[in-house]
Amino acid sequence: MSESVLITGASQVVTLRGGGPRRGNALSKIGVVEDGAVLVRDGKIVAVGPRAQVERRAEAKSAEKMDVGGRVVLPGFVDSHTHLIHAASRAEEYELKIQGASYEEIARKGGGILNSVKKLRAATREELKRRAAASLGEFAAHGTTTLEAKSGYGLDVASELKILTLQKQLKEEQPLEIVSTFLGAHVVPAEFRGKPDGADKYLELLMEQVLPEVVVGDLAEYCDVFCDRGAFTVGQSTKLLTKAKEHGLALRLHAEQLSRTGATQLAVELEAASCDHLEQVNDADIRALARSKTVATLLPGCDFHLGLNKYAPARKLIEAGAIVALATDYNPGTSPTMSMPIVLSLACNQLRMTPAEAIAAATINGAVALGRDNKIGSLEEGKQADLAVYEVEDYREIPYYFGMNLCWMTMKGGEIVWMKD
Ligand code: NIG
Ligand code: FE
Nearest ligand 1 atom, CA 258 = 2
pLDDT attached to residue 83: 98
DSSP β-ladder status, 144-150 and 77-79: parallel
CA distance 71 to 90: 37
CA distance 204 to 208: 6
Decide: helix, strand or coil at residue 332.
coil
Tens of pLDDT, residue by residue over 241-294, are 999 999 999 999 999 999 999 999 999 999 999 999 999 999 999 999 999 999
pLDDT at residue 300 tops 80: yes
- Ligand 1 pocket: which of 102, 117, 186, 225 to mutate (most atoms within 8 A of CB): 186
pLDDT attached to residue 2: 59
The residue whose CA is least distant from atom 3 of ligand 1 is 226
DSSP β-ladder status, 274-277 and 295-298: parallel
- 307 CB-near residues (< 8 Å, 6+ apart): 97, 98
Ligand 2 center from residue 330 Cα (angstroms): 7
Query: CB of 258 closer than 6 A to ligand 1?
Result: no
Tens of pLDDT, residue by residue over 134-166, are 999 999 999 999 999 999 999 999 999 999 999
Count Cα atoms within 13 angstroms, Cβ side, for 186.
24
Instruction: Using CB atoms within 10 Å of the CB of residue 95, give its burial: 0 to 12 exposed, 13 to 18 middle, 19+ buried.
Output: exposed
Mean pLDDT of 59-81: 98
Mean pLDDT of 110-139: 97
Give me the chain's average pLDDT, please: 97
pLDDT at residue 344 tops 60: yes
pLDDT at residue 1 tops 60: no
Decide: helix, strand or coil at residue 38.
strand
pLDDT > 70 fraction of the chain, expressed in percent and rounded: 100
Nearest ligand 1 atom, CA 333 = 9
pLDDT attached to residue 272: 98
Asked if 10 and 71 count as a contact pair (C-beta separation under 8 A), the reply is yes
Decide: helix, strand or coil at residue 231.
coil
Tens of pLDDT, residue by residue over 303-343, are 999 999 899 999 999 999 999 999 999 999 999 999 999 99
Query: CB of 331 closer than 6 A to ligand 1?
Result: yes
Q: Which of the ligands is closest to the CA of residue 186? A: 1
pLDDT attached to residue 3: 86
C-alpha to C-alpha distances, 197 to 190, 194, 261, 275, nearest whole angstrom? 13, 9, 20, 27
pLDDT at residue 110 tops 90: no
Instruction: Using CB atoms within 10 Å of the CB of residue 235, give its burial: 0 to 12 exposed, 13 to 18 middle, 19+ buried.
Output: exposed
Annotate 244-255 with b (16+ C-beta within 10 A) or e (fewer).
beebebbbbbbb
The residue whose CA is least distant from atom 11 of ligand 1 is 334
Asked if 219 and 180 count as a contact pair (C-beta separation under 8 A), the reply is yes
Asked if 278 and 312 count as a contact pair (C-beta separation under 8 A), the reply is yes
Of the candidates 208, 181, 205, the one whose C-alpha atom is nearest the C-alpha of residue 191 is 205
Query: CB of 257 closer than 6 A to ligand 1?
Result: yes
Q: Within its chain, how far is the Cα of 208 from the centroid?
A: 28
Tens of pLDDT, residue by residue over 365-389, are 999 999 999 999 999 999 999 999 9
CA distance 304 to 313: 15
Nearest ligand 1 atom, CA 329 = 1
pLDDT > 90 fraction of the chain, expressed in percent and rounded: 97
β strands within 129-219, DSSP E: 144-150, 177-185
- Ligand 1 pocket: which of 93, 103, 113, 276 to mutate (most atoms within 8 A of CB): 113
Mean pLDDT of 116-134: 98
CA distance 151 to 57: 46
pTM, entire model: 0.98
Please name the amino acid found at residue 316. Answer: K
Question: What is the CA angle 207-208-212, rounded to 5?
Answer: 85
Nearest ligand 1 atom, CA 107 = 9
